[in-house]
């Protein structure tokens, strides 16, 4: 089982940060790091059953609680079974914007995760948290490692 989590404390209430979740994959996108990563696309917005993904990663909206949480169930790549979730949680200093992922892998999927997908996933999520934090005056924290820069260059070169 692969478990991966990223979070950022935002200096605002969950109600103030709700638009970060509620506008995912919409023309008013406020969280996803568009321009730096493949755009998140959903066939019917955040409605349960809406399918889409970003780049080679496929999923559908499994559940959506407006202003609080959205959970996606993976459909691709092959060998990955699980979910990823974005949520807003109360915190004494404001709120926590959190991303959790739990995935079972089979075959070569585990190796693919370790060598390619995990470093890219982690960089993408930190970019998203930086973008979310910027709406509330937080400075960006994410810096790409040389390995992530190499992977991003190779993917651009191969496409």
Distance CA 94, CA 115 (A): 35
Number of structural domains found in the chain: 1
Cβ proximity of 29 and 36 under 8 Å: no
Query: With contact defined as beta carbons under 8 Å apart, do 131 and 108 qualify?
Result: no
Per-residue pLDDT tens over the stretch 11-48:
999 999 999 999 999 999 999 999 899 999 999 999 99
Q: What is the pTM of this model?
A: 0.95
Determine the structural domain holding residue 82 and report its residue range: 2-158
pLDDT tens column, 72-125? 999 999 999 999 999 999 999 999 999 999 999 998 999 999 999 999 999 999
Identify the CA nearest to 89 among candidates 18, 2, 1.
18
Q: Check which CATH number belongs to the domain holding 129 and give it.
A: 3.30.530.20
CB distance 45 to 94 below 8 Å:
no
């Amino acid at each position: 089982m692969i478990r991966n989590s990223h979070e950022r404390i935002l200096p605002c209430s969950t109600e103030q940060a709700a638009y970060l979740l509620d506008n995912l994959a919409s023309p008013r996108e406020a969280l996803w790091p568009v321009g730096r990563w493949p755009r998140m696309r959903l066939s019917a917005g955040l409605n349960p059953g809406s399918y889409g993904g970003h780049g080679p990663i496929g999923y559908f909206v499994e559940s959506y609680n407006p202003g609080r949480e959205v959970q996606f169930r993976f459909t691709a790549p092959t060998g990955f079974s699980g979910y990823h979730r974005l949520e807003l949680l109360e915190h004494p200093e404001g709120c926590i914007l959190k991303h959790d992922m739990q995935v079972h892998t089979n075959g070569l999927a585990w190796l693919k995760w370790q060598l390619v997908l995990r470093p890219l996933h982690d960089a993408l999520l930190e970019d998203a948290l930086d973008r979310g934090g910027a709406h509330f005056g937080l400075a960006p924290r994410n810096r790409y490692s040389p390995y992530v820069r190499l992977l991003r260059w190779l993917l651009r070169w191969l496409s």
